[in-house]
Structure 1
């Protein structure tokens, strides 16, 4: 019975993630049609002239609660129309995201007994704490695959007695997200 609850939780969140992906795809297609295609040179210059800025924005976003969805960066990576470059960029984004989760876990582990963390925990994690107690690893998997904030869940999990080696194993679902989304983005641009 307990596993059924976890599976239902995962399926519900995967469905939400699918809807979220459709919204991002629609927003991208509209933005591309009405803004980018009308002045491609300007947009190319803004986004592709200095890739280091894009990488720094991505790293900052992943470390600080995933402010910008990683799918936008995968769309950016496709803009070079180079398959090898696209694969390398998606692999880089996946590695940074996985690493940001591990860093979040370690931050949670290190700061869990401090007063400031206890305050932050009440303020920022109160929504996810009951879910973690109820679903455990299923919440980590859902955060890895869906829009549930990956960095926040990683910090929350690190602040518990959850084993690091188990977290490292379960967190590999984050890489799966990049493989699936990267493949979908590549295939949709081939049409």
Structure 2
């Protein structure tokens, strides 16, 4: 039984190696590192030279309703992750219940992925839109067909386009049950990033 498991693991490892899964992750991380470093550098500069970020977050908390900020976040997470979730995670630190608000963000991010998934399924059912989207997202769709659930997990955990992976999963009619399960890894990202950002802003 143990040998069978090892052989399956070895076959999976060979498959992901030969199909370029590992190099895809590496390239994705390289592309994500620069924007992440720039974002951290900008935040550090603003915090030191322009305005204290804690004060800015307090200002946002006092001048914008929770519903408004949560709505903006959900829209962003549903449409290709237009705004880095790290900004919203930083905002939660200065709320009355940081862990509760962080948990709400995690749930909303997961919900945004689910919305993107069903949006993909809907678009795939419209022939003209389907052809257009396939043309625009050929690379993502091919990758989803090759790697399926692992690509969803990678998109959920790493600074890669999670909503894009969810949209592609919907377009190829990826198993709904498995999608819901794999997308749950998105919650762990907020736990990890929440700890890091909270520590940095302390």
TM-score, with length taken from structure 2: 0.78
Residue 63 (structure 2) aligns with: 49
**Stretches (4+) displaced over 4 A:** 14-20
Which of the numbers 165, 184, 196 marks the counterpart of 1:172? 184
Structure 1: runs of 5 or more not aligned: none
Give the distance between the partners of 2:191 and 2:29, measured in 1 at CA. 15
Aligned length: 185
- Verify: 1:33 aligned to 2:45, yes or no: no
Give the distance between the partners of 2:70 and 2:176, measured in 1 at CA. 27
Relative to 1, partners in 2 of residues 1:43 and 1:89: Cα closer, same or farther, differing over 3 Å? closer
User: How large is the RMSD of aligned CA atoms in angstroms?
Assistant: 2.5
Residue 87 (structure 2) aligns with: 72
Relative to 1, partners in 2 of residues 1:181 and 1:137: Cα closer, same or farther, differing over 3 Å? same
Structure scoring higher RCO (CA < 8 A, sep ≥ 6) equals 1
Question: Bigger radius of gyration, 1 or 2?
Answer: 2
By how many angstroms is 1:146 displaced?
2.8
TM-score, with length taken from structure 1: 0.82
Matches within 5 A, 1:102-181: 102-181=114-193
